[in-house]
Every structure is written in C-alpha cells, then in structure tokens.
Amino acid sequence: TEIPIQPINQEVPSNSNSLTIAAWNLQIFGQTKANNLTLMEAYTDIINDYDIIFIQEIRDESGTAFEKLCASLPEYDCHISQRAGRSSSKEQYGLFSRKGITITHIVDYTQGFQNIFERPPYSVTFTQNNYTFTATTIHIKPDDAENEIKELERVISSNGNQIILGDLNADCSYFKRDTEFVDWYWLIDDTEDTTTGPTDCAYDRIIFNHEMSLEIKGHGMDRSITPSMSDHYLVYATIQTEETK
C-alpha cells in the first residue's frame, strides 16, 4: 500500500484528530544558550508549533537550562531523561508534550544499555483519541552509527504503533542503509540535508513500523532554523490519531 506522504515543507497541519511530533538536536544546549534571551525566545516560538517534541543534546550538569526552557512553555508538560555518556561529556533528552496528551509509559534505557549505546534510547508511549503509539528518540554516536542502529532495531519492539525520530547520524561517512530497519519506513530520504551548515547529510531521521504506516499523514523539516540556533534542522511528522483500518 502506498503511504500518503506530503513533500518536505514547513507547514504543520494539526487539528483535533492529529498530532505533530518532532525531534530537534539543539547542539550543546546548556547554560550559555539558556542565558541568551534571543535564542530562548526563538526556541520557544518553534517548539510551540508542535504537539510533541523531543530535544536532543542537552549538556548541562546543573539541570537548570532545560528547566528555564520548560518554564517558558507553560502549555506543555516537560520530562527529561537521565544523563548519559561514557566520557565526561554527558547528554540528556528533553520532552515537551502539550497538556492534554496522555503519557502512559516512559522507558529510559540509560540503566543497563550504556555498554551498547553512547546515549541510550528514550521511549515514551502516548494516547490521544484512544490512539496509542510509542515514540523513541536517540542521539546515535557518529563513529559507531552502524552498530548502534543495528542494536536499536534489536532493542525497540516492532509491535504496536512505533515511531523512532532523532539525530541518528544516519548518512554520509557514518552510515549507509543496508539491512537495518528494512521492514520500517524511512520518512527523511537519504538525499535530504538536515543540517544548517555546509554539510549535506540526512543525519536526522523519522522511521516507523508498518502498523503505524497509515496514520502518518505528512512530514517535513523547519529550514528557518539558523546556525546560531543549532547545526540541525528540526524534523517532524503529522500523525492521524484515529487509526485507519
């Protein structure tokens, strides 16, 4: 069955029967950026366009940078993962979920999976209009992308409605698709460029399993993002929250 996918754009179609879910690597989000009023206003304006958004590359030992961003978005519930990383550089994932969207389960894979992933995945199960799906975000280690993506397929269940989104470093010298997630659908094509700088790589991806395929109604990336905000564009998908039979 052909999947009805809209072309890459900056439109964010949303209504009571749909959700827009996004992922964005904020490039070393910590105290420096959190104390920059102009940047924080830009981040707030962009995040406010989405119903669910995962933030990646939070590097702030104090934990207050994400709290500041959360405080600027009172219409959202905020969650943050444990700090992860094998070196002195630790990262966290942040989640903004618009109030009214039910979160039924969170799995932070940091404990027990640090030997497999530099930054283990973070999975959240949502329910809206009796439609339930699980979204997993991960920031794949560039130099180990092939192995980590293989392990991700082994760790994440393919049962139920599953979507994976984030900075998978899944292109250019780090990764070439071969046998990984071949039964899943890759929304962001290999030919796309999800970076704001001079590189031309589809590092940021959205992939989903067959059970969720008919509920994906569109996708895109925000190309208005500037290098001062991040070296990555935000990527998103629109999900119909009434399951298609």
Active site residue 91: yes
Contact 12, 45 (CB under 8 A): no
Write the single-letter amino acid at 44.
Answer: T
Record the tokens describing residue 90, joined without a space: 């630790």
Q: Which of 57, 118, 139, 148 is catalytic?
A: 139
Sole residue written with tokens 């975000």 = 137
- Which residue type occupies 121? P
Which residue, 48, 7, 23, is CA-closest to 169? 23
Cα dihedral 23, 58, 45, 69 sign: positive
Q: Pick the catalytic residue from 91, 118, 151, 215.
A: 91
Return the structure tokens found at 55: 């933030």
Active site members: 91, 139
